[in-house]
A and B are shown apart, each in its own frame.
Chain A
Amino acid sequence: MWLLLPGFYLENLTQSIQMSIPTELKYTKDHEWMKMEGEVAVVGITDFAQGELGDIVYIEVNTVGETVKAGEVFGTVEAVKTTSDLFMPVDGEVLEFNRDLDKHPDWVNSEPYGKGWIVKVRVASGQADLLSSAEYGALIGK
């Protein structure tokens, strides 16, 4: 996920805020996480990302049923103060969008690795270039 921030929003990434980076997940440099469940990957945004965005108003995903390449946009997060695109961690078909988020977008803030998951993806064959939790932690300066 790429933080598209207006002028007054330039983020200071050196903050020391408590946040979690579960070791069992893989990460993108754009702040998505991915968890493999068999051939299906569950994808969401990281705790760091939700903290940067602030209160999330809705998630828009119009790519269910489509095959999207790694690094391409599969949806958008709208927070009160800013908006951000969502990027695919791997090549694959978007199978399902978490429709519970239509009613509970705040779950992405409160449980980014749990009830706040965003899409499920059938992963295409090939190598995914993802970060470990330690590498992601280093990226965001934790």
Chain B
Amino acid sequence: MDLKRTALYSLHQQLGAKIVPFAGYEMPLRYTSDVEEHNVVRQGVGVFDVSHMGEFRVSGSQALALLQRVTSNDVAKLIDGKVQYSCLPNAQGGIVDDLLVYRLAEDEYYVVVNASNIDKDWNWISQHNSMGATLRNESDQTSLFAVQGPQALPTLQKLTDLPLADMEYYSFKIGQLAGVEQIIVSATGYTGAGGFEVYVPNQHAETVWKAIFAAGAAFGIKPVGLAARDTLRMEMGYCLYGNDIDDTTSPLEAGLGWITKFSKDFINAEGLKKQKEAGLNRALVGFLMVERGIPRSHYEIWDANQQVVGHVTSGTQSPTLGQGIGLGYVPTALAKPGTELFINIRQKPIKAQVVKLPFVKK
């Protein structure tokens, strides 16, 4: 399959990025050092080009009805200018994708999905659109920059009159930024470091990117690759689709009960409700390595008797903690914080402990 490129591919090359295939795109993995880029976001401001993400516009009088049917969270609770984290449950108890839902107007929503799932999600949502909402896939025309870190606010505020300091987490505004009209500035992110995500039409991508870097120069702004994006989200315990959640994992077992609202009807609501009532067999937990070792995806999780009780779904060294951290599914009896687990690292049991998420406090 041919790999796609974001609008700023050649700019990333000029910046010396190491480019890797990810979710069908050639994406910057790192520019200099994973740890340096991670720390820039925790302490200052960093910018990710995450234009590979997918954007669908759902509009018309049936937009709400369609989104209520396909997503697990209650879209009726959204008001204009608010964003909601949600997922698309499948009919078999798993998850088609996780996503963000923006309410632009009563009859117009913006849905942001994972790059690897754009086609799957489009087909899934279209297939359930018996009510006749209008759907438009804007993924190939839209760039997305995540401007993250404590200095993201003063950086972006230099470029817009929108009152960014007043914005609550998971809200957005639309207006002029860097001289470009109709930019969505969203107080969201995947890092726990605060900041914004900025949706830009591709033809203005380079203008906006360069303006952000000029505005952030005084704060030591740096481009940040996917490697640091992963370590940052791991420290927050955020799920990554394809690792921690997928077509076979239950949103309830994944700890996404808070976005699964049985007060409304949606695909497989009955099945998930039954699962909730019957009690969960396993749960996604975060664990911190007590002994030296770095958990990696697919490593075995052992109990104290060296019996396999689960597998690591995501793992890394935490640059902030200087310790290995991981996520994985374990039987609910072993899911309580403080529980001792062992990770099979090269056939040796390395001690870990279940901890409450996030690993790093915001």
Contact = CB atoms under 8 A, between A and B. Distances in A.
A55 B34 contact: yes
Interface stretch (A7-15, A20-28, A29-37, A134-142): A7-15
A8 B22 contact: yes
A140 to B, nearest CB: 14
Interface in A42-94: 51, 54-55, 57-58, 76, 78-83
Interface SS of chain B:
mixed
Contact of B317 (A11, A17, A78): A78
A6 interface: yes
A12 B22 CA distance: 11
B288 to A, nearest CB: 15
Contacts of B242: 7
B346 A80 contact: no
Nearest to A55: B35
Interface residues of A, number: 22
B297 A6 contact: yes
Nearest to A76: B346
Given A80-B34, A81-B34, A83-B294, A54 B227 contact: yes
B180 to A, nearest CB: 31
Contacts, number: 54
Interface residues of B, number: 26
Contacts of A78: 294, 317
A54 B346 CA distance: 21
Contacts of B30: 54
Interface stretch (B13-21, B65-73, B139-147, B330-338): B13-21
Contacts of B272: none
A79 B33 CA distance: 11
11 contacts: A6-B296, A8-B230, A9-B29, A10-B20, A11-B20, A12-B18, A12-B21, A51-B18, A80-B35, A80-B231, A81-B34
